[in-house]
Amino acid sequence: MARKIAVIGAGVMGLDIALEYISANFEVLIFDQFKNRPGLEKDKQDKMWRLLFLAMKDKRHLMHPNNETLETVMERVTWLDSNPDNFGRLSECEAMIEAVFEDIEVKHKLIRDIDLACGRPVLLLTNTSTLAVKLLAKASKHPEMVMGFHFFNPVQMMKLVEGIPHEGTSEETVGKARELAEVINKKFELVPDLPGFVVNRLLLPMIESAGLFVDRGADFRGIDSSFKNGTWTENDVALEIVYSHIIAAHDFLQEQKNFRAELTKEKIDEIVRLGTNFPAGPFALKEAIEKGEAGKLKFRMGPAELCDLVGIDVAKHCLEMLRMQEPDLWSTVPDILKHLCEAKKFGRKAGEGFYSSVDVGIVEMADGKKYAKVSLRENTVSHNTVKQIKKVFDSLHNEPIEAVVFEITKCRGADISEFPLVARNPGLAKTVIGDWHATVKSIMNFPKQVIAIVRGAAWGGGYELAQACDYILAEKGAKLSQPEVLLGIMPGGGGTQNLTRRVGLLKSLGMILDPKMEVEASKPWVDEVLDDITPEHLDNFINKGLWKRNRPSLWPELNKDLAEASELISKLRRGFAGQSPIAFEAAVVAILVGNHKNLELGLALEAELVIKLFENSADNIKEGIRSKFERRDPIFS
């Protein structure tokens, strides 16, 4: 009989925690406020299905390799509204993990409701990230069964769980919490019941300090850069930020002395590394500074990028909760965090925060004229990023510029981790493909010339964005491909039309229908190839005053090459491990029929065919995605 656990709160952390226990063969009850929020339960179920679809057993094997096993696993999840009528089900579980909004009143009400409704006391593990557990235990009739159980985001990647017993937590509860962490392969570390515990108590001073420096005019980009390239001791502001972390660690050594768990410097360093992915803990950082060896310690990201990752709103709220508990120790929340939240710029999850997934700036040329530079910051293009690209291009229409330069660097194409959900809910395809086409058209129809710069690679959707530009400049060695058919889909960002009109029928058929084909940047795939694309070269290219690209239909060429095209299509169809996917045939139609038409009609046909693939060929798409994650050839049926 499967073990059973409950997770209360189906936000990002709640679903990720639930996934860990589902993957460990538990039955999981997931509670949230579904009743009064139409569509929420379906949304959360879809997100869990996607998490399970993408879950890896190891680097080469998915945990759930087919639809049947995935649906069987989904049957081990029960979705319940968070109301007292359902809390009686908690008595079936060996523990409940609370992951609701970080607010003491919300958590107190939940604990009281559970106590009233549940037929027997059940171990309560709270995933609070800043609130002292003793404050939460006050609301419980069974405080000895309440304990902090703090996971880190993203849960699947972060191995640490902070275990936080308050003064009244029983040893039995601590032992059970340890076992529940270890059964999902997490490293369980007992830490003192201080607000923020170890990791956040020592990390948030850096966030606070960085924000206050930005309020006073500091350059967050320069600060982040120094963290990442190992020059943070040479940047006075960055060094101050690191020292806020070190000082907090020294204070912690004294503050922890009245608590059950007391940690050594070495253990604190270990816990911080595990909870932050920093190159070293605070005491090791101090030692490296004193020895002049800090340059060896490079951070994966600086404080502004870290805020974007965890969520600007989350960082702001954590600082508010710490100030609420210890007003004398914490400053007011930095204004920059407040302003970003007011603008709904919550970080990566929103596509905008300190950074945007799409950067934009105005560049002055040597002759005083200006152009806009738009840069993709991510290696994959998410749906949010697609919408952000359109927003940026729309915002530039009235700028006094000569051109837009669109930088695409090491782009792997569309974010295929989003595809399973579209395959599960084909109605989403209309929205996603509609947004891709709206973005591509905003680039193609921009009133001034648009010049793509490709560095490293532009695959799939990345190359389609480049094709939408009037001209493509590439650095020598850049690689280009359209691998969509291998995923059971076809180019859906204009590639079946723009590529054919750029390189001709036979070359476009070769690239699109042979999804393993990759070419090094050269004509006609791009317009120019250079060893290094310098500002001077861009100035010269823009000042040529080139026209917008003409993209006429190709019907005379199509008719001339039809026999050769037919032979090539037959040859490429035989190149698949099993039978060719339906997407292969759909791409043929899009290329041969769409390019007989004007561009607008050709794009409309492409969009229609891609949407039909998601509606009628979902199993092919799922197999294509699975094969990509498992690094094997797909077997289409």
Give the per-residue pLDDT at 350: 87
Question: Which residues carry out catalysis?
Answer: 464, 484
The rounded distance, in Å, linking the Cα atoms of 498 and 594 is 10
Note the pLDDT tens digit of each residue in 352-382: 999 999 999 999 999 999 999 999 998 999 9
The rounded distance, in Å, linking the Cα atoms of 272 and 286 is 14
Note the pLDDT tens digit of each residue in 404-463: 999 999 999 999 999 999 999 988 999 999 999 999 999 999 999 999 999 999 999 999
The rounded distance, in Å, linking the Cα atoms of 459 and 518 is 9
Place of tokens 């607008």: 600
The rounded distance, in Å, linking the Cα atoms of 147 and 290 is 38
Give the per-residue pLDDT at 261: 75
CA 456, 459, 461 angle in degrees (round to 5)? 130
Query: Which one of 1.20.5.440, 3.90.226.10, 3.40.50.300, 1.10.3720.10 gives the CATH number of domain 358-629?
Result: 3.90.226.10
The answer to whether residue 531 scores a pLDDT higher than 90 is: yes
Average confidence score pLDDT of the chain: 95
- Are 403 and 376 contacting, i.e. CB atoms less than 8 angstroms apart? no
- Are 32 and 39 contacting, i.e. CB atoms less than 8 angstroms apart? no
Q: How many CB atoms within 10 Å of residue 147?
A: 27
Q: How many CB atoms within 10 Å of residue 496?
A: 32
Residues 6+ apart with CB under 8 A from 478: 454, 455, 456, 457, 458, 520, 521, 526, 529
SS3 340: helix
Cα dihedral across residues 193, 198, 200, 204: positive or negative: positive
- Give the DSSP letter of residue 156: T
Q: Is 554 exposed, middle or buried (0-12, 13-18, 19+ CB in 10 A)?
A: buried
Give the per-residue pLDDT at 199: 98
Number of Cα atoms under 13 Å in the Cβ half of residue 244:
22
Which of the two residues, 38 and 372, has the higher pLDDT score?
372
The rounded distance, in Å, linking the Cα atoms of 62 and 59 is 8
Note the pLDDT tens digit of each residue in 190-237: 999 999 999 999 999 999 999 999 999 999 999 999 999 999 999 999
Q: Is 329 exposed, middle or buried (0-12, 13-18, 19+ CB in 10 A)?
A: middle
The rounded distance, in Å, linking the Cα atoms of 562 and 596 is 12
- Are 20 and 184 contacting, i.e. CB atoms less than 8 angstroms apart? yes
Determine which of 79-83, 329-333, 403-407 has the lowest per-residue pLDDT on average: 329-333
| 572-580: Cβ within 8 A, 24+ apart | 572/509, 572/510, 572/513, 572/514, 573/513, 575/514, 576/633, 576/634, 576/636, 577/633, 577/634, 577/635, 578/634, 578/635, 578/636, 578/637, 579/636, 579/637, 580/636
**Average pLDDT value for residue range 488-511:** 96
- Are 377 and 224 contacting, i.e. CB atoms less than 8 angstroms apart? no
Q: What percent of the chain has pLDDT over 90?
A: 91
Place of tokens 């003793």: 134
With cut-offs at 50, 70 and 90, classify the pLDDT of residue 325. very high
**Average pLDDT value for residue range 28-51:** 95
The answer to whether residue 119 scores a pLDDT higher than 80 is: no
The answer to whether residue 1 scores a pLDDT higher than 80 is: no
Can you give the residue ranges of every domain in the chain? 4-190, 199-350, 358-629
Note the pLDDT tens digit of each residue in 234-253: 999 999 999 999 999 999 99
Give the per-residue pLDDT at 554: 83
**Average pLDDT value for residue range 41-70:** 94
Residue 30: φ, ψ to 5°: -115, 120
What SS3 string covers 554-604?
A: CHHHHHHCHHHHHHHHHHHHCCCCCCCCHHHHHHHHHHHHHCCCCHHHHHH
Rg of the Cα trace of the chain?
27
Tokens at 431, concatenated = 């929205």
Residues 6+ apart with CB under 8 A from 276: 199, 203
Tokens at 489, concatenated = 């889909």
Give the per-residue pLDDT at 552: 87
The rounded distance, in Å, linking the Cα atoms of 613 and 621 is 8
The residues facing 381 across adjacent strands are 414
E strand residue ranges, 142-301? 146-150, 160-165, 187-190
The answer to whether residue 34 scores a pLDDT higher than 90 is: yes
Give the per-residue pLDDT at 561: 81
Note the pLDDT tens digit of each residue in 261-320: 789 999 999 999 999 999 999 999 999 999 999 999 999 999 999 999 999 999 999 999
With cut-offs at 50, 70 and 90, classify the pLDDT of residue 257. confident
SS3 179: helix
Place of tokens 């405080």: 143
Note the pLDDT tens digit of each residue in 540-580: 999 998 889 999 888 777 778 888 999 999 999 988 877 89
What predicted TM-score, i.e. pTM, was given to this entire model?
0.93
**Given phi > 0 = left and psi -120 to 50 = alpha, else beta, which region is 292?**
left
The residues facing 451 across adjacent strands are 405, 471
Place of tokens 């994959």: 380
Q: Does 4-190 carry CATH code 3.40.50.720? A: yes
The answer to whether the bond into 154 is cis (omega within 30° of 0) is yes
Note the pLDDT tens digit of each residue in 259-271: 877 899 999 999 9
Tokens at 595, concatenated = 């390019």
Distance linking the first and last C-alpha atoms of the chain: 36
Give the per-residue pLDDT at 556: 73
